[in-house]
Chain A
Amino acid sequence: MLTLTRRSLGALALAAGLAAGGAAPARAQAAGDIVLGGSIPMTGVFAFAGIGIHAGISDYVKIVNDAGGVHGRKLRYVYEDTAYKVDASVAAFNKIAAQEKPNLYYGDSTAFSKTINPELERLGSAIMAGASFATELNDPAKFPLQFMAGPDYTEMFGILLRYIANEKPNAKVAFVHSDTEFGRDPIATSARRAGELGLKVVETIVTPPGSVDVSTEVLKLRRAAPDYTIFHGYVLAPIPEFITQARQMGIASRWMGTFWSMDNSMVQQMGEMADGFMGVMPYRYYYDDEGQAPMLAKIRQMRPDYQSTAYMQGFLTAMLMTEAVKRTLDGGQELTGKNLKAALNTIRDFDTGGIIGVPISIPGNSIPVGRIYRADVQKKLMVPASDWITLE
């Protein structure tokens, strides 16, 4: 009979570990796969987005591989859960970078994108995008190997402000934002932009993170009496309570949000209060079947249930990364970060299969396109309120 002593068990474990550790790099090299790595927040405060992003990336990778890959090479998506913690994201990056040699990487936060940037440049073998639309990242000189699959937060405000200026010239606008890096991002630059468009920013309200009651903030808003109020830096709370109290006080503002507060399932949680809530969205919604949108049709076929806007973000990010790989290989070039980014920047009037309603170009680190959507509480859907707006 075989008896396992503690020592032999240890030896066995060591042997198994060596075998596993030795096998992984060999597999990556032999297959010639193109690896898309990811620090993905599958748990923690950002999990609602992370789960959608993960599904979107996975689905696009599957579509590419089912069609034979890129130049015959399979895409392989390797991710780790980060719980939306920067140290965990960095650890995941280091692990995946060492074991899998990714050419593409998805990061989960602004802080991570900034932290990892020097390492990304040092490695020089990959381009990166992620869940952050931070204005700061939209700088090809400082972040030459990164991009974002949509407008940055200042551009989102720019799109909203341009819509407002068209609808109601000289309108009074208020900004309400969370006291976080995310919340503060577009505020100063957008105040200037509003002035250029002839709009007047009558109040800027800051809410501390995690604050529950917004009564005092609503009182401030009543005093300012804006025509439009733009929320930024939130997902859901405290927007519903803010609108509820403001309506009770008789404040006649229109209410607007930016990308992360615009998912249909989140907005509809506001119930009646969502009526007329508007915001900027760079992607079309899952259920949008207007016109030609083969990719949306494909997504609905793969997943019969509603998919969030975070899903669309992950899906489009994977699509653009794949396009960069394809263009680099088409040019007979090596898959380095620099070549991939240069290939990405050659994207002009690109058809996303309907994920974005107009052809897109990526001259720098962002795609400055979006559309205003409005909540229709009867239909329980976000519906278009404007045409597509492209910033120059």
Chain B
Amino acid sequence: MNNIANKITEKVVNFPKITLLLTIIITIFFFSKVSDLKMETNIESMLPKKMDAYINKNKLEDIFGVKDMIVIGIVNEGPDGIFNLKSLSLVKEITDRLKLMEGINSRTNDDLVSLSTLDNILGTEEGMEVTPFMEEFLQTMEEVRKLKKSIYDNDMFVGSIVSKDGTATIILAEAEDGTPLGELYFKVKGAIDEILKARKTNDKVYIAGRPVIEGVFGLYMPQDMQSMLPLIIIILVVVLFLTFRSLRGIFLPLLVVIISTLWTMSTMAILGIPMYTITTMMPVILVAIGVADGIHILSKYYDEFLENPGEDRKTVVLNTMHEMNAPVIMTSITSAAGFLANLSSQMLPIRFFGIFTALGIIYAMIFSLTFIPAALVLMKLYAPRGVVKRMKAGDELNKATFSGRFLHFFGNYIFHRHRIIAATTVVVIFVSFYGISTIYVDASLLSEFRKDSPIRQADVVLNKKFSGTTSLNVVIETDKTDSMKSPDMLRKIDMLQSYLEEFPDVGDTLSISEFIKRMNRVMNEDRSEMEIIPDSRELVAQYLLLYSFSGDPEDFDDVVDYEYKQANIRANIHTDHSRPVALIIKKLQKFILGNFPSENTKIYLAGTAYTMHSFVDIIIRGQILSIIIAIIAIFLLTSFEFHSFFAGLLNIIPVSLSTLVIYAAMGLIGFPLEVGTALTSGIALGVGVDYSIHFINKYRLEAQKHQETLTITLNTMVTAGKAIFFNALVVTIGFLVLLKANLYPQVKLGIMVASVMMLCFCTSVTLLPILINSFKPEFIFPKGGSYEA
């Protein structure tokens, strides 16, 4: 491998212009394709098709037509709440506007629900009355009072359409299939803002609901990345300048990163693979990793010609590459393998993320080994003036720069105080095991938005006022037509509802039983004691027929299927956090097992809460597995690369420790393990292993030249150690930009990557020299003295 690489280096150095030309031509080709890259922001599309949450969700949609709704809340904190002429007109005006809006489903009153579309079913002495709550704009306060009374007389709508305290009401709207939800949100918001502007009211309008959250999240994720990436690059430019103090020090590593990221995204476009919400962080990660090769090569390049001022540029580049080819190839292949561990995931986007990040790393490697030497050969040898001055004044290389002096001091410290460091490490490990034990899983899509974002605020308000914006569905499936007309079955459903409503997080529930009870009451002179399931199956059937007369053909579809074989019980939950939902699901499953005989009935769970629950479960389980696989792969690969299992062990110690510390820190701070953090923590492996490979490789080279372990340690510190330090510094500062991002996943990504960089740097430059110096492994210190390469 190394021989081939060295031959390539020679070719590149001999024909630098052709190399550059080829690079430019290929890059132009890729550049022309990158605009074909498609975005896939629909979160549902990321679910594995055979996952039961996905199957159940589709069944729910198919059989019951149940879809998550956009929720628009109108809140008035005045003395009358929303029961004033202005607020109620606003409800009607917004509803009417939505009815005509492209992308909003307004086929039936089930698709667009508000006080101005809902009918009230009232029991009268003679029979039953179905009247709209508010068909026309109300004109007098008398009408308003009448409306208020009719709502509170029928508890079906209190808590679901109008809040208990009367200060809020909602409009529910369904998006048409295939409508881009993020765009729809802004369209709805624009229309409402326009209405609010035209009529001066003191009402507050909030827009929430799952489609909105997912839509805006899907829209923000890539937007955020697009706006953050240039910022990161600008910061990289500044930090690279401060470290190398030369233009080539900035542009060569940066060009490698930009071009390899471009190649990767074009490859995805050419293969027709879309960018998923989850994989939008890939370019940023590629930047973080790809910059390393360039930094190491340039760092060595400067070291080389500062230490050997007489060499011509070709020799300098050749010597640089002869030393750097091996570690660059090793680190790239190992990091790529670490990311390929994501192939074990059940989720297609995560697998793509693994494959293409790996590919990007390989692209960056190819560039670093061809484009950088070719460019360097064409440039005059040049070193920052300050460094040259100090070198001329008689300073050693390690003392010529600030970082050199710092790392020299640091190396000395480590060498002499290895007991303290070892003891500290042991303490850190113990604390980490404790920290790991406190970590918990809790994901919430809503919490990914900043607290002050309108979407999150809307959800908080609406969850406070109403029965809950997250749905959990229990579907009872039988194989016999009309089995849902059986009073026994209806009573069981009723019992299940009561059980669900005992959970404090469950706001309210809805089922076919509730409708039957309501009909029974209404048809019996509206006597409240008749709000029960009747004993006669025929009566149930006749109620259902009667009800079907009062609505559209599919009016009941959301609670019972067309053949009355299956029923859907819906629970509204106040939170979208996966942790409390997991608790409800666990208890509910137990209750179902105990209460529903399994012979002819099958029960399955569905809905947003269940989808989220399964989604989180699958990702986190998958990520833990892929981290383990990655560690094993890194161990085997580095063992092979250094021809030593001990080397493999050395390589995985810093990365494993860093990963451990990261998770432990999350546990201790109370940062839950969720989708974003689970995914980004895997980056620790890919990046961290770079550091250890560079360090060990340099250590081995130094050991071939010197006998003194102190000298070897210090020399490694001021060369490879310095490059690692630069790398960690550059990327850490670059990623801190993400702290300003709109969405928390990005913020978390920034924190994670920055802390991983610093952690891996610390563990590599402290533990590796201590371990190597203590164990004196054969692959570094061969028996019978050193050998010359």
A and B: partners?
no
Question: Which residues of B are interface residues toward A (Cβ below 8 A)?
Answer: none
